[in-house]
Amino acid sequence: MTKTINLTLKVWRQPSTESKGGFETYQASDISTDMSFLEMLDVVNEKLTMDGKEPIAFDHDCREGICGQCGSVVNGRAHGPEKGTTLCQLHMRHFSDGDTIAIEPFRARAFKVLKDLMVDRSALDKVIQAGGYVSVNTGGTPDANAIPISKEIADKAMDAAACIGCGACVAACPNASAMLFVSAKVSQLALLPQGRPEAARRVTAMVRTMDKMGFGNCSNERECEAECPKEISITNIARMNREFFKAGFFSATK
């Protein structure tokens, strides 16, 4: 037997970026506890559509926890209350019958609300465009083991590369800082030999772009690390700081 629960949702509704938003209350009835949070919203939206009302707009894509597209703030927590999960991987079994759930978009000056729970996270793309890449000339495929990299370093780079760019770190940060995202992207390249030639230029450009996009300043509150669905560590932030000081004070990069 599938267990079902009834919930009261308080959802942020905002028709467009310019318009003023507000909370609307909806009843989510007979929700299977096997559903994901987004499937629950699908059920609510189906009913809204049937009733001739505007369905709730929310970001989603793969629904497998790897694309970084979904994400809302559920009862004050980015991606909801479960540790290390995206919103699409949060299941309704973590809620109880009769619960009231507040659903808000990720909020930051750098993330404009497009509609309801959908936010424009292109500020993160701008940071990547500033330096989140390696420049390699095309040619024959290099041998897989031509450059020796220790398992330990490869693991650290892989842990940083697990970042899906969802923006939960920004949403969870009391200062709306993007330091965890940017540091993960800086780290994954700075740790590997392929990323070293452009390391100084990269970290300088990415940090400056991050500042220009209007994110807040990191104050080591550690909410980002606690909320990150991929559990990216703040050791990456310390690494980015080291890289930034090295680039700023000891490299020729201006």
Contact residues toward other proteins (CB under 8 A) are 10, 12, 23, 73, 75-78, 83, 102, 104, 107-110, 172, 174-177, 179, 207-208, 210-211, 214-227, 234-235, 237-242, 244-245, 248-249, 254
Cβ 31 to other proteins, closest distance in Å? 20
For the CB of residue 179, give the shortest distance to other proteins in the complex, in Å: 8
d(CA 245, CA 213): 21
Contact 203, 253 (CB under 8 A): no
Residues near 97 by beta carbon (within 8 Å), at least 6 away in sequence: 5, 6, 7
CB 126 within 8 A of CB 209: yes
Give least dist CB 235 to other proteins, A: 5
Ramachandran assignment for 212, one of left (phi > 0), alpha (psi -120 to 50 degrees), beta (any other): alpha
- Nearest approach in angstroms of CB 219 to other proteins is 6
> For residue 66, what are the contacts with CB-CB under 8 A and spacing of at least 6?
164
Which residue(s) pair with 10 in the sheet?
25, 102
Smallest distance, other proteins to C-beta of residue 144, A: 29
Q: Which is nearer to other proteins, 83 or 94 (by Cβ)? A: 83
To other proteins, the closest distance from the beta carbon of 195 in angstroms equals: 17
Residue 19 or 136: which CB sits closer to other proteins?
19
Q: How far is the CB of 16 from other proteins (least distance, A)?
A: 14
When the beta carbons of 23 and 133 are compared against other proteins, the nearer one is: 23
Q: Of 95 and 215, which has the nearer Cβ to other proteins? A: 215
Write out the DSSP string of 85-139: --GGG-BGGGS-TT-EEEEE---BTTBEEEETTEEE-HHHHHHHHHH-S------
Separation CA 216–CA 174 (nearest Å): 9
**Closer of 53 and 242 to other proteins (Cβ):** 242
- Contact status, residue 38 vs residue 88, Cβ threshold 8 Å: yes
**Cβ distance to other proteins smaller for residue 3 or 94:** 94
Closer CB to other proteins, residue 192 or residue 234?
A: 234
